[in-house]
Amino acid sequence: MSLGTLRARAGNFFGGLFGGATDTGPEALPVRTGMLGRSPHSTAPVRLLGFDQALVWVTVTLLLWGLVMVYSASIAMPDNPKFTRYAHTHFLVRHLVSMMMALLVAVLVFQVPMATWEKVAPYLFIASLVLLMLVLVPFIGKGVNGARRWISLGVMNFQPSELAKFATLLYAADYMVRKMDVKERFFRAVLPMGAAVGVVGVLLLAEPDMGAFMVIAVIAMGILFLGGVNARMFFFIATIVVAAFAAMVAASPWRRERIFAYLDPWSEEHALGKGYQLSHSLIAFGRGEWTGVGLGGSIEKLHWLPEAHTDFLMAVIGEEFGLIGVLVAIVLFLWLTRRIVHIGRQAVAMDRLFAGLVAQGVGIWIGFQAFINMGVNLGALPTKGLTLPLMSYGGSAIMMNLVALAVVLRIDHENRLMMRGGRV
């Protein structure tokens, strides 16, 4: 498959998904050419910024809105005997500190050229595997609610699965670039990548963290598809992945219970068991109606809805801001995903395949995880422990989300340099 065919595949797929243009041939770069040179209606030069300011402002909007909602969702938690030693601002302060640290790391990451990321991708992937192993070691990994997913760093608890998402994304993009000449052969191109993702999956399921494994599998499959893997081979892989996840659910009694609770959360059997979170999430959305009960007015966050500041933050948004607030959040995430994918298409059109696949992989990551989280909160999908990107409480998740977006901004910055005739 030629690079021109790859451009067409990425353009057609995401163009059809988001309603954008699908002409990505050599004569039609997916860039805003009005920003280059001069405006067609003015002789004054058009200023070409060094990064995508709209992307930055949408990200900041989601971060600040998330900060407010984390405070709103957690302010009453010290009334619970389990959290009596915490101040009412405990989660707010920790979330704010995590955001500041994440922003600092993101600024540093923005300085790293994409050529460097391409070189270190395999080593970063190996490092993520080591951390996933360490989290399972007693006295190193920290367990919460029966799951060992964190390593304590003193000032924060780091979740290696978040790093694994980013590392797998970089590794998959680098892998497809290296295997471009054999990508039509299953055993030489796809099977080694599948084995690598399988190793990550085994480690994540040992924690257990099936939600993170699902996101990583989708990221890897998306990059394989955009990297030019044969369509029949791709659907064969997708069938295997779906069958594997179905088998995992069938083999686990508590996962089966979640599915049954999702199908009937209001039954006497499930309402106080596996369907408890879902039923109270739906009650929250019902109370919100069109415009919500107002910021801070949620009742479900008052010890009725567990994990309201993490996995079920969208339910609090729905209760306090109503359908309008939910639609605003959906539009912001949709725009963010579309813009990230557009930056990736620009890079692919300029023969920067690794950078393009990385950007599109970040779009798949954020878009898919937001979709799953919202679907779970709204009762459209079975309950799964995935946070809402950029908004939910969680230091390592916020940090890795911002690191990924900083890499996307770096890709956009290098795209603009090349548009001006510079070198990266």
Q: pLDDT, tens digit, for every residue of 190-235?
A: 778 888 888 999 999 888 888 899 999 999 989 988 887 777 777 8
Q: Please give the pLDDT value at position 11.
A: 52
Among residues 62, 56, 14, 18, which one has the least CA distance to residue 370? Answer: 62
90-110 vs 53-74: helix crossing angle, rounded to 10:
160
Q: Please give the pLDDT value at position 34.
A: 37
More confident residue, 105 or 423: 105
List helix spans (H) across 190-252.
191-206, 210-226, 231-251
Q: What are phi and psi of 154, to 5 degrees?
A: 90, -70
* CA–CA distance, 17 with 7 (Å, rounded to integer): 15
Does residue 31 have a pLDDT over 50? no
Does residue 32 have a pLDDT over 80? no
| Tens-digit pLDDT profile for residues 143-159 | 776 677 888 877 778 88
Cis peptide before 30 (omega within 30 of 0): no
* CA–CA distance, 70 with 189 (Å, rounded to integer): 43
- The tokens describing 235, both together, are 């659907």
Do the beta carbons of residue 203 and residue 159 sit within 8 Å? no
Among residues 345, 347, 342, 338, which one has the least CA distance to residue 416? Answer: 347
- The tokens describing 124, both together, are 């970063």
- Rg for the chain (alpha carbons), in Å? 22
Other residues' Cβ atoms within 10 Å of the Cβ of residue 89 = 14
At residue 132 the predicted structure's pLDDT band, cuts being 50, 70 and 90, is: very high
| Tens-digit pLDDT profile for residues 239-298 | 888 888 888 888 878 788 888 778 878 887 777 777 888 888 999 999 999 999 999 889
At residue 23 the predicted structure's pLDDT band, cuts being 50, 70 and 90, is: very low
At residue 37 the predicted structure's pLDDT band, cuts being 50, 70 and 90, is: very low
Does residue 121 have a pLDDT over 90? yes
Which amino acid type is present at position 257? Answer: E
